[in-house]
Amino acid sequence: MLPVIIHLINRMRHRPRQWAAMQFLLAATRSSTSHSKIKNWLILAMRILAVLLLLLFLSRPLVGGWLGWAMAAAPDAILLLVDRSASMESRVAGTDESRREYALKLIASAAGEFENNSHLILIDSATRKPETVSVASLAELPGTQPTDTAADIPAMLQAALDWLIENEAGTAEVWIASDLQSSNWLPGDSRWEALVTAFDSLPQKVRIRLLATTQDSLPNTSISVSELARVQSGETGEVRLAADLKRSEATADTAAITRTLNGIATEFETRVNGQSTRWRHRVEVGDQSGGWGKLELPADGNPRDNVTYYRYSDDHPPAGLVITESALGPLWQAAASVADTSGRKPAKRLPPNDFNSSDLRDITLVVWQAPLPQGDSATALRQFVNEGGRLVFFPPGEAATTRFAGLGWGEKQEADEEPFKIGRWDEDQGPLANTDEGLLLPLNQLTALQRQRVLGQAAVLAAFNDGQALLARQALGQGEVYFCSTLPLLTWSELGGGMVVVPMLQRLLAAGSARLQRDSVAECGKVSAGDLQLEWTSV
């Protein structure tokens, strides 16, 4: 109403008086009265609009570059959620500040207006423990320093919600400083729906404000170990590892990698194509009982993601177990065989009815070609996979309603005139990845006359031209479950040639050795519940 009152007062400044000498002028101007009214209405409208725009301008958050918070009423509590993940150490282009340092400066500047009237509570991404802080000490606190961990934004908001409930706070604001990495925000996480409902149901008013540190950063390359296995190659032990290199710019270039193994550093160069490349490497370790190492990149836009560590343990030879009653048993045994001092030792074979949990004691891979397991057999296999073992199912030939790890077998399908052909497969990771020399497995030459449909949601590592899965993967605990939709029989496919099924099963044998070796690869802040139960020793 204020603009309207001001407008009316302004109109009343000039009181009308009758003056005969001016009547002829009034008569002359009556023709323009309608235009004058329109002008007055427009002036009134513009004054109202100006006030509304001013209010909107002042209501925008200060940390977003606006001035509204300085004039807003101070809340009882301000919860500062600070993302300390490694990505927040990216240097802001044109400055010598990291995104974390930039965010802390803006938070300190904004919070200074409220410090005398509001409680400032810090919740950092590493500890998620609420702590009362002051603006002056914010940048120096242990809870605001850089870390190598990931962030879990839903968990941080849950910690903020718990604090608000436990302390019965009045009006509150939650300030979130983050670079909006999807791996930290987890947009598909089921916790978001519960958090929104919980915040909406709070009796007090809670406002959530976001400081997005998404400024341009200096070029950066990160490295992380994705696969690690110790295997016996001939008469010597060998460590095989794979590292993922990710770049902020999609340019083809070489990357220098320094590998340190038990204190000895060696430099390598690898080609990086695009923004992501998987680098595979193997090193002989002889009969060493175990050791550790690291991979390191040169300094760049983010110093916190240039080093990744790994450890290998004692040698535990892989061993395979084949569960089937079909004539393919000897082929599975040969494909899943392991090398020993006398040559190659075929995998052990059992019919499904004779299988029990004790048969899995030293096993790293189970090949199952029979109806899906149920009861005690299914329970034993789930435990086996949870511990890090690998389990691969091949078609039994008949559809069934039984599921394992959410997957099952549908109807058998036969090709019409043209055989089924492979349209795509994952060349970077998994049992069908390229060799260490960069050579492709010949899946593009593989054809199938019959296949059995894989039911359920899973990661498809290889698919036919029509999108149906050839090989699907389901993660379960520390291990993985695979479903292959065709058989190495000439009436089914050309899989029996050995150029695909043998390397696939040999890789799964080696990967399953993690069950016995207890070598874990995990990102700081994302250690699994199973790993937390292990005994950890500093090296």
All residues at 6 or more sequence positions from 539 whose CB lies less than 8 Å from its CB, including other chains: 292, 311
Answer yes or no: is pLDDT of 528 > 90.
no
262 shares a domain with 205: no
235 shares a domain with 308: yes
350 shares a domain with 292: no
Task: Specify which residues 268 forms β-bridges with.
Answer: 257
Amino acid 66: pLDDT: 37
Q: How far apart are CA 117 and CA 395, in angstroms?
A: 68
- Count of all residues that appear for the chain in the document: 539
Is there a contact between 291 and 261 (Cβ–Cβ < 8 Å)? yes
pLDDT interval class at 35 (50, 70, 90): low
Structure tokens at 381: 């296999």
364 shares a domain with 325: yes
Last-in-domain residue among 277, 312, 347: 312
Is there a contact between 436 and 423 (Cβ–Cβ < 8 Å)? no
240 assigned to some structural domain = yes
Fill in the amino acid letter for 3. P
Q: How far apart are CA 122 and CA 235, in angstroms?
A: 56
445 shares a domain with 483: yes
The region of weakest confidence among 24-28, 181-185, 246-250 is 24-28
Answer yes or no: is pLDDT of 60 > 50.
no
Answer yes or no: is pLDDT of 422 > 70.
yes
Is there a contact between 110 and 207 (Cβ–Cβ < 8 Å)? no
Structure tokens at 338: 């392991």
266 shares a domain with 130: no
79 assigned to some structural domain = yes
CB atoms closer than 10 angstroms to residue 47:
16
pLDDT interval class at 67 (50, 70, 90): very low
The DSSP line for 344-374 is EEPPEEE-GGG--GGGGTT-SEEEEESSPP-
The region of weakest confidence among 330-344, 486-500, 502-516 is 330-344
282 assigned to some structural domain = yes
Enclosing domain of residue 248 = 221-312
Is there a contact between 462 and 471 (Cβ–Cβ < 8 Å)? yes
Answer yes or no: is pLDDT of 29 > 60.
no
Strand pairing class (172-178; 77-82): parallel
Answer yes or no: is pLDDT of 458 > 90.
yes
Mean pLDDT (whole number) for 459-471: 95
The residue to which tokens 């995104």 are assigned: 99
Answer yes or no: is pLDDT of 200 > 90.
yes
Fill in the amino acid letter for 518. R
Secondary structure letter of residue 487 according to DSSP: -
Average pLDDT of the chain to the nearest whole number? 85
Last-in-domain residue among 178, 193, 212: 212
Instruction: Quick: pLDDT tens for 361-406.
Output: 889 999 999 999 999 999 999 999 998 899 999 999 999 999 999 9
32 assigned to some structural domain = no
Answer yes or no: is pLDDT of 20 > 80.
no
Nearest C-alpha neighbor of 111 from the set 144, 147, 149? 144
Answer yes or no: is pLDDT of 59 > 50.
no
The DSSP line for 283-303 is EE-TT-S-EEEEEE----S-G
pLDDT interval class at 311 (50, 70, 90): confident
Mean pLDDT (whole number) for 112-122: 91
Mean pLDDT (whole number) for 455-480: 94
The residue that leads in pLDDT, 200 or 41, is 200
- The CATH number of the domain holding residue 125 is 3.40.50.410
307 assigned to some structural domain = yes
Is there a contact between 405 and 366 (Cβ–Cβ < 8 Å)? no
Task: Specify which residues 283 forms β-bridges with.
Answer: 239
498 shares a domain with 479: yes
Rounded (5°) CA angle 231-281-235:
35
- Give the per-residue SS3 of 410-442: EEEEECCCCCEEEEEECCCCCCCCCCCCCCCCC
226 shares a domain with 123: no
pLDDT interval class at 154 (50, 70, 90): very high
Q: Which residues of 435-447 are buried (b: 16+ CB within 10 A; e: fewer)?
A: eeeeeebebeebe
Q: Which residues of 342-354 are buried (b: 16+ CB within 10 A; e: fewer)?
A: eeeebbebeebee
Amino acid 105: pLDDT: 94
18 assigned to some structural domain = no
Is there a contact between 364 and 519 (Cβ–Cβ < 8 Å)? no
Share of the chain above pLDDT 90, in %: 51
**In Å, how far are 58, 78, 83, 124 from 175, measured between CA atoms?**
18, 7, 11, 12
275 shares a domain with 174: no
Last-in-domain residue among 294, 312, 330: 312
The region of weakest confidence among 193-207, 213-227, 467-481 is 213-227
pLDDT interval class at 274 (50, 70, 90): confident
Q: How far apart are CA 397 and CA 492, in angstroms?
A: 10
The residue that leads in pLDDT, 109 or 518, is 109
Structure tokens at 205: 């008013």
Is there a contact between 448 and 415 (Cβ–Cβ < 8 Å)? yes
Domain count, the chain: 3
The DSSP line for 219-249 is --EEEEEEEEEEEEETTEEEEEEEEEEEESS
- The CATH number of the domain holding residue 486 is 3.40.50.880
Instruction: Quick: pLDDT tens for 232-265.
Output: 766 677 888 889 998 888 777 888 999 998 888 9
Mean pLDDT (whole number) for 2-8: 60
Amino acid 41: pLDDT: 72
Nearest C-alpha neighbor of 126 from the set 152, 163, 105? 152
Task: Specify which residues 264 forms β-bridges with.
Answer: 261
14 assigned to some structural domain = no
Structure tokens at 356: 């029990």
159 shares a domain with 103: yes
Share of the chain above pLDDT 70, in %: 83
195 shares a domain with 87: yes
**In Å, how far are 81, 109, 121, 380 from 115, measured between CA atoms?**
16, 10, 11, 58
pLDDT interval class at 288 (50, 70, 90): confident
Answer yes or no: is pLDDT of 504 > 50.
yes
pLDDT interval class at 4 (50, 70, 90): low
- The CATH number of the domain holding residue 297 is 2.60.40.10
97 assigned to some structural domain = yes
Helices (H) and strands (E) in the chain, counts: 12, 26
Amino acid 56: pLDDT: 57
381 shares a domain with 297: no
pLDDT interval class at 65 (50, 70, 90): very low
The region of weakest confidence among 68-77, 129-138, 464-473 is 68-77
